[in-house]
Amino acid sequence: MNPIVEVPIVEVQDFGVAFGLKDRPLHAVRGVNLTVRPGEIIGIAGESGSGKSTLCTGLIRALAPTARVSGRVCFDGRSLYDLPMREVAAMHGRDIAMVLQNPMTSLDPLFTIGNQVREVLKRRGVPGAQVREQAIAALKRVHITAPEMRVGQFPHQLSGGMRQRVLIAMATSASPRLLVADEPTSALDATIQDEILLLFRELRDRTNAAVLIVTHELEVIRRVCDRVLVMYAGRIVEQGPVSTVFAAPQHPYTRALLASTPRIEGTEVVLTPIPGQVPDLRTLGPGCAFADRCPHVVDPCRQFKPEFRDLGPDHRILCRLEGGVQ
């Protein structure tokens, strides 16, 4: 991809997030090690409740105030959780951008699109005389038709896809170095999904930003992303290049997840649901969280902590089974 080895934009070491009572914590995320390089698009997959949103918001220090964080997150070489919040807030929107799942509720209903875009631009220090013009330019960049008219409209007068475009325009107005998109298309029609995803690629191509996309749909990751993270019960169980992981998934959960997405075989649409239930994060034992649902489970899986194993360049799984079972 990138001929020269670049300095990572995000480096995460042994990152964990816990909610709830101190003596009965819910570990939404634990033991995450991750490196994000500029210009790469990373997809995060996993069943709902596996900690995808928590990880994403944790990476940019935008968690709920009740969250307890452990480990270390470095953004551009600076330890995010050691900085004063004021400095992190200054990075939000400028170097770090986020797009949320529900575009219907993510814009202030009482102000026009133009007003909200202009407020963001002013905050970025765009001189007053240029704000109008740049607001329209920002909307043009996300392919909003008739932006001159849209700036006078209110959010409720726009479709969901339009609103998500506006939000992306606001989030990326300052050419961020990292964009986090938490299920950016789940609330939208399938036809609009591709157009939105294309915007992320355009942003990456234009600014060399790193993009993190959380999604339910593995197909999205296959088409758009360079690298994939598969999460289960708060841990990354497999990460690697999309081509490698999709061609030969190594973790039993990744395999189950891939098998559980609908696909066409001959004339039929088939899917194999994952048996069992997502475990309760409060009562996890010491062993592998997937053990109860794993077709290849052996005794040690339940007793001992699973360990990371590197399978190739950038490809690692959290599983004790040697090389997986093909």
Partner 1 sequence: MLLFMLKRLGQTLLTLLVLTFIIFTLARMTGDPTPLVMPSEATDEDRQFFREQYGLDRNLAAQYVIFLNNAAHGDFGVSFRFRTPAFDIVREAVGPTLSLAGSAMLLAILIGVPLGCAAAVRRGGRLDQFTSLFASLGQATPTFWVGLMLIVLLAIDFPIFPSSGYGTLAHYALPTLTLGFYASSSIARLTRANMVETLKSDFVYMERVLGLSGWSIVLKHALRNASLPIVTYLGLQFGLLLGGAVVTERVFAWPGIGQTIVDAILYRDYPVAQAAILTTAILFLTVNLAVDLIVMALDPRMRDA
Ligand X SMILES: Nc1ncnc2c1ncn2[C@@H]1O[C@H](COP(=O)(O)OP(=O)(O)O)[C@@H](O)[C@H]1O
Stretch that binds ligand X, among 42-50, 134-142, 161-169, 215-223 (CB under 6 A): 42-50
Closest CB 251 distance from Mg ion, rounded Å: 21
**Which CB sits closer to partner 1, 110 or 264?**
110
Six-digit token string for 319: 């599983």
Judged by CB under 6 A, the residue of 39, 51, 241, 324 near ligand X is 51
**Which CB sits closer to partner 1, 118 or 227?**
118
**Which CB sits closer to ligand X, 20 or 208?**
20
Judged by CB under 6 A, the residue of 9, 10, 18, 28 near ligand X is 28
Closest CB 238 distance from ligand X, rounded Å: 15
Identify residues 46-85 at the interface with Mg ion (CB under 5 A): 53
Interface positions with partner 1 (CB under 8 A): 60, 62, 89-94, 96-98, 100, 102, 105-111, 119-120, 123, 154, 156-157, 167, 170-171
Identify residues 57-76 at the interface with ligand X (CB under 6 A): 64, 66
By CB under 5 A, is residue 185 in contact with Mg ion?
Answer: no
**Which CB sits closer to partner 1, 179 or 291?**
179
By CB under 6 A, is residue 53 in contact with ligand X?
Answer: yes
Q: Which does 94 bind (CB under 5 to 8 A by kind): partner 1, Mg ion, ligand X, none?
A: partner 1
Judged by the rule CB under 6 A, the positions of this chain that interact with ligand X are 19, 26, 28, 46, 48-54, 64, 66, 281
